[in-house]
Amino acid sequence: MSRILIAEDEVLMLKALEFKLKKDGYEVDMASDGRQAMEKVKANTYDLILTDIMMPFVGGMEILSFIKNDPLKKNTPVLLISAVGLENVVLEGFSLGADDFIYKPFNLNELSVRIKRYIKQNEFN
């Protein structure tokens, strides 16, 4: 079973994502702020990481740059959730190696299809 980490500071959003991904058959780990997420990322390996950009203590960008600079973890797909449509934020995200951006508001079912695709892709690599 594939393992996914969701990092999101809005409890309700976290819950919705948790329910959805569990229903899709993934093993779900959760972090409700950036610090927690960072600890979990350091301690475990995941098949995919879904993280909000704006979080207390540690932002999604920092988590992203940590993963992409770690030789063992850098292949883990990272999807950034963001309400920020600013060009420089998107550019920064991709330059740090983000695999995709999810803009709020988004379609849950579409997200679930995307996640499936990234996980499949990664299995072949």
Stretch that binds other proteins, among 41-49, 71-79, 87-95, 117-125 (CB under 8 A): 87-95
Residue 50: exposure state from Cβ atoms within 10 A (0-12, 13-18, ≥19): buried
CB of 92 to other proteins, least distance (A): 7
Distance of closest approach, residue 10 Cβ to other proteins, in angstroms: 7
Q: Can residue 3 be called a binding residue for other proteins (CB under 8 A)? A: no
Among 3, 32, 36, 54, binds other proteins (CB under 8 A): 54
Q: Which residue reads 């995200």 in tokens? A: 93
- Spatial distance between the Cα atoms of 72 and 93, rounded to a whole number of angstroms: 20
Cis peptide leading into 105, omega within 30 of 0? yes
**Per CB under 8 A, 74 contacts other proteins:** no
Looking at the Cβ atoms of 19 and 42, the one nearer to other proteins is 19
Q: How far is the CB of 65 from other proteins (least distance, A)?
A: 5
Phi, then psi, of 67 in degrees rounded to 5? -65, -45
